[in-house]
Amino acid sequence: MCGICGFINNGYNKRDLYEMNQSICHRGPDDEGYYLDERIGLAQKRLSILDLSSLGRQPMSDETGTITISFNGEIYNYKQIKAELVEKGYSFKTDTDTEVIVYAYKQWGIKCINKFNGMFAIAIWEQKKNKLTLVRDRIGIKPLYYYHNGKDFAFGSELKPIIKHPKFLKNINNQAINLYLTFGYIPAPYTIYENTFKLEPGKYLIFQNNKIEISTYWDIIDIKRKCANKEVLAEKEYLEQLEELLKSSIKSRLVSDVPIGAFLSGGIDSSLVVSLMQDMSKDKVKTFSIGFNNDKFNEANYAKEIAAYLGTDHTELYITNDDLFSMVEDLVYYYDEPFYDSSSIPTMLVSKLAKEKVTVALSGDGGDELFCGYNTYDHIKTLSKFHNLPHSIRKGIGYVGGLYNKRLSQVLDYSGEISEMVLNLKSMFSKKEIRSILLNSDDLDKSINYFRPYDELKKHTILDKEMISDIKSYMVDDILTKVDRASMKYALEARVPLLDHKIVEFSLKVPLEFKMREREKKYLLKQVLYKYLPKQFTNRPKKGFSVPIDEWVNGSLKNEIEYYFSKQFVNNQNIFHYSNLNEMRMNGKLNTKQIWCIFIFQKWYKKYFVEDIT
């Protein structure tokens, strides 16, 4: 685990590369390395996990110096690949997965990435071909950004090193603002800046002769499409396959030369990961959780009970409202672009807690997206049943039969296509609201429809399509981004065993009835968990990793919010429509989440466009 960055050299020097690399020093405090010539600059900040010696320093080259790589992540099956390469005559100086990547690429070229099981962002420089290749893992666990203005090219694990590039122009991408207000994050391939992009999961980029070529080596939609006519197996067979895949994934993620632990929230996913870890470990697994004094958000007591039952070495920390509030500034700095998800704050705090005892922590992220864990999926099933009914009947359904939900009722009242109804259900702001509060909302429909794979999955249900949409977008650009930045703030490596690509591919083959049984979500995942943990530990309401935004908006943040919504700030900024925005707020048409969403954007804007200039 580390941070990487670099550029195509158009007359830049080592100082430029150094400044870029230092901007991500939090990602790798153990070592750093540089490779610079008249054509390329590569750099890395290292967090030592495997082979802690200086031999693991990057960038790393082959014995001839013609292939050089800089790499962030882990290749969990590197020993098997290494054995295969040794049989072909290669010799190795280190016990790192980095060196395995170098020679795997030398042997098989870009096709080597199909052999890798792991999380990775890789930069590969071929000196003889004057070619730079960037690769991102199948799921998008490790981030990778790039910038191309027609002449200059730069890349990095975060936006920070790109912003430090001498030729970077900090111009806001208006299309990204539309997306942020819709989703609460900016989905790949976009970023908040013009000419700056996220390399999408399962893709690699080749930069050669000042041209970019992007190719796909793993495509979740293509895999899902091929599953349409698969034979349905018995529940027992699915359970056996899933349990075996989970054990294999977790076992591979326990390989490390530094201490390993796990986050334990008390929910289904983290409890499953910890249960399997403890089952295959001779020693007590180190587990970590944080608690809140507010029962509305607190799951620490659940985590403590589960830890006691499993016999883990458990550490918990109760945090105050002040602890949470003090991290709001970090939310703006470490995420680089507007990022709504306030659960980033407690994720930072539990990462800080874990780092005191371990360098690697396993996380339960991915279970909700793969196995149908969100309450939204209940609402989508309801929409699927009722969307063809006359509008006059449909709009009242949200108030009867125990279904009442304000947001669902509003969506059922919507008269458009079901895809639009679901989008309205999941959106932070509706299209109508965005057009009202932004001065420029051009291409809004085009921007949003890119992330909704309806045309490619015509044979699948609306729920299948939305789950794929969440895996491709929400999981990558919200959940995994949240975990990466929060953990790397403290140089803690987070590993996500539920997102082994073999488990993801398996989940795509499992019919919906095994993921959601009646109203029971994550049915199949729970059946595996019940083999290791009694039901009474998990049959509880899901609380999530929330913070008291309502209290902040109406209390601690009130004056700051007034400043960000003020006529002077909004008009000088020239992004929002001052009158429309404040009319909605004063008339109670903006809920707390929407106010927080605008607040985060304004705070980000002040950080990068007011404070940085002054």
Radius of gyration of the chain (CA): 24
What is the DSSP code (8-state) at residue 132? E
Helix (H) or strand (E) holding 254: none
416 token code pair: 């458009």
How far, CA to CA in Å, does 610 sit from each of 229, 569, 604, 606?
A: 55, 10, 10, 5
First to last CA, the chain: 35
Residue type, 189: P
Strand duo 203-208 + 153-156: pairing: unpaired
Residue type, 407: R
- The amino acid occupying position 610 is V
344 is in an annotated binding site: no
Of the candidates 434, 361, 358, 418, which has an alpha carbon nearest to the alpha carbon of residue 386?
418
HSE, side-chain direction, 13 A CA sphere, residue 394? 20
Measure the CA angle with vertex 71, ends 197 and 65; round to 5°: 115
Q: Is the peptide bond before 511 cis (omega within 30 degrees of 0)?
A: no
Q: Quote the distance between the C-alpha of residue 20 and its chain's center.
A: 23
Residue 97 is assigned to a ligand binding site = yes
- Shortest CA distance to 515 belongs to which of 220, 227, 299, 242? 242
As beta bridge partners, residue 67 has 126
- Is 363 among the annotated ligand-binding positions? yes
Residues with Cβ within 8 Å of 603's Cβ and at least 6 positions away in sequence, in order, are 328, 332, 560, 564
As to burial, measured by CB atoms within 10 angstroms (0-12 exposed, 13-18 middle, 19+ buried), residue 418 is: middle
Query: For residues 343 and 302, what is the distance between their CA atoms, to the nearest angstrom?
Result: 18
DSSP assignment letter at 114: G
Q: Give the C-alpha separation, 584 to 593, whole Å.
A: 14
> Is 289 one of the annotated binding-site residues?
no
CB 204 within 8 A of CB 215: yes
What length is written for the chain? Answer: 614
Catalytic residue numbers, as ranges:
2
Query: In what helix (H) or strand (E) does residue 86 lie, and over which residues does it extend?
Result: helix 78-87
250 close to 269: Cβ distance less than 8 angstroms: no
Q: Which residues are annotated as a binding site for ATP?
A: 290, 363-364
Q: Which residues are annotated as a binding site?
A: 97, 290, 363-364
Q: Which residues are annotated as a binding site for L-glutamine?
A: 97
